[in-house]
Amino acid sequence: MTYDREMNVTMRAAGGRDTQQYTKAEVLMSVRNVSLAFDKPILREVNFEVHNIVRPGLNQGQVISLIGRSGIGKTQLFRILAGLQSPDSGSVAIGTDQHLVEAGEVGVVSQNYLLFNHRTIKDNLRLAMRRSDVVVSESDREQMIMQYAEAFDLSEHLGKYPMQLSGGQRQRTSIIQQILTGNKFILLDEPFSGLDALMIDKVMALLVKISTLDELNTLVIISHDVENALAISDTAFILARQPDLEGATITETLDLMRMGFAWNPEIRENADFQKLVRQMKHKI
């Protein structure tokens, strides 16, 4: 699907009421004809674009979802988007200059949470800040760590080691870690997996907050959780197989902004949204 480089749109809520205007501006990530095979095709000609979303008077980042069932090839696509694996064909370009992605340019929050087990949570976060290109004083570093720890309910755990934390606490630490590196792109692999309903709501709220810290901040969520992925996203792509063809590809693009479903923390209570969720569950 091809997008216009500049498109001014008045978003309408599900009931038809005009809400906020937004603009789809420059391309921040472009995936072109990505294919991958091992013994058989895994991914087939995957194509999509992520645009900078601009809203008047707001610092609006992007939250994108790639939704597919287990075993469809999401992990392989995750690695390709992060620059950790090369596709057999095709390319992934990121940034306003659209250069080819390289390993380390994209923050990665995987399901096994890449933390140093021999270092405390605070030391893990200090190391993340040292990897950042942003030059700040030691006192500012400490202040930033404390602010994020408080926002993510981790203040009392900074002196602990990763193995002393719950899975949800390690996940939140990994998310802060990637924020502190200064990466504008953060990939999250199944961020809602294993969390109870209350913690899912909290993590979703925090992810939205992260996206709005900078206009170019772009979160890409890889998930089989249709409802929560759609609820947090401005755009979603369905990764699935097509009849009589091997390998998964993007079978549907959902512009949740145009549908009036984006940027609404109560959207899961909307009947039209739930209808969309049911439809997508049958398509993945």
Split into its structural domains, the chain has a count of 2
Domain end among 182, 202, 217: 182
CATH number of the domain within which 252 lies: 3.40.50.300
Pick the closest to residue 43 from 251, 284, 249 (CA basis). Answer: 249
Same domain, 25 and 148: no
Residues 120 and 85 in one domain: no
Residue 217 lies in a domain: yes
Residue 246 domain-assigned (yes or no): yes
**Residue 78 and residue 191 in one domain:** yes
Say yes or no: 200 and 102 in one domain.
Answer: yes
The pTM assigned to this predicted structure is: 0.87
pLDDT along the chain (284 residues), means of 10: 41 47 95 96 98 93 96 95 97 97 91 86 89 68 88 92 90 86 90 81 86 92 96 98 96 97 95 98 94
Let me know if residue 133 belongs to a domain. Answer: yes
Domain boundary among the residues 182, 207, 227 is at: 182
My answer on whether 92 and 208 are in the same domain is: yes
Q: Specify whether 53 is located in the same domain as 65.
A: yes
- In whole angstroms, give the CA distance from residue 76 to residue 87: 9
- Domain final residue, candidates 156, 182, 208: 182
Query: Do 90 and 15 belong together in one domain?
Result: yes
The answer to whether residue 1 is domain-embedded is no
Same-domain status, 196 and 170 = no
**Confidence (pLDDT) at 203:** 84
pLDDT value for 153: 86
Identify whether 2 is part of a domain.
no
What pLDDT is recorded for position 2? 35
Say yes or no: 122 and 83 in one domain: no
Alpha carbon distances (Å) from 267 to 18, 262, 274: 16, 8, 9
Q: What is the pLDDT of residue 231?
A: 97
Do both 92 and 159 map to the same domain?
no
> What local confidence, expressed as pLDDT, does residue 200 receive?
86
Shared-domain flag, residues 274 and 257:
yes
Q: Is 168 contained in some domain? A: yes
For residue 89, being part of any structural domain is answered with yes
Give the domain extent around 74: 7-106+184-283
Looking at the structure, do residues 196 and 267 belong to the same domain, yes or no? yes
User: Is 16 inside any structural domain?
Assistant: yes
